Structure 1
């Protein structure tokens, strides 16, 4: 099972970074290039424990739906979301937040299993792991951009 690990230093308080990371509205902003839309469950605002969201997005030229649910939640230190249904065989995305000298260290651990057995493993090596890393990196770039400016107020004070 591939694991993607990203570490992002953000010059903002942990509570703001945590809430931006669970913001449905900010997620939509970070995935505009895939036309991602929340179509069921929690479709705006902040998602919390035992809540789910179904996303519709275009990946590899095909529209797909993916439902994930928040399965662990300890504000402002940690939360995780897991796929309920979608294109993967399974995934778990852990979001860790630690105080650092200049603000917050955000750590993403994304474990996933591709469908289609050997073909899925081949897809991981050829393109899928890089594609998923790029998606998560862009998401983190947007979280950082909003957290380190007054833009976070546009998302969290609605």
Structure 2
């Protein structure tokens, strides 16, 4: 399991909403030319919504579809791969109110590659470190938006 914990100077609801905004997601990973298409047509995901991501990671084009399988605003949501490159992928997002307008955001991701024992080695040596860096990069982007120009995101709705 991969875990990344960040403290963000914004209320849990603001951070939660930013995490579910597919445009914010794509912006945070612009270096991989990430795009996102939603099943519902909305840019902010809700329970049962699916999103398909397309990007280039580790020199390879990826396509993955995930569904929001748990949703408890503003405390927690879970997305899980329904189609894509992994044998399985589950990403839990938790938001804890620390008071004084601060939120502890915890990302917990479990990923399993295909290919049995070889996949387990690839997961441990390549995928986990790479995905942890991506989660940290996203957390920095979310913090910057939440602590700065969250109003710009709200205005898009």
**Residue 26 of structure 1 aligns with which residue?**
24
| Alpha-carbon distance in 2 for matches of 1:147, 1:7 | 16
Q: Deviations over 1:73-114 (max 9, x none)?
A: 011111000000000001110111111144111111111111
CA RMSD in angstroms comes to 1.3
1:121 CA drift (Å): 1.2
* Alignment map for 1:48-127 (pairs within 5 Å): 48-102=46-100, 103-127=102-126
Any stretches of 5+ residues in structure 1 without a counterpart? none
Q: Deviations over 1:26-62 (max 9, x none)?
A: 0010010111111452565210000000011111222
SS at match of 1:53: strand
Check the 8 A contact 2:38/2:49 in 1, yes or no. Answer: no
Check the 8 A contact 2:112/2:123 in 1, yes or no. Answer: no
SS at match of 1:91: strand
Give TM-score, length-normalised by structure 2. Answer: 0.94
Structure 1 runs, 4 residues or longer, greater than 4 Å off = none
**Residue 141 of structure 1 aligns with which residue?**
140
Any stretches of 5+ residues in structure 2 without a counterpart? none
Check the 8 A contact 2:111/2:123 in 1, yes or no. Answer: no
SS at match of 1:119: helix
**Residue 35 of structure 1 aligns with which residue?**
33
With 41-50 and 12-21 compared, the bigger mean Cα shift is at 41-50
Q: Residues 136 and 44 of structure 1: is their aligned pair in 2 closer, same or farther, counting only changes over 3 Å?
A: farther
Check the 8 A contact 1:20/1:156 in 2, yes or no. Answer: no
| Alpha-carbon distance in 2 for matches of 1:18, 1:133 | 19
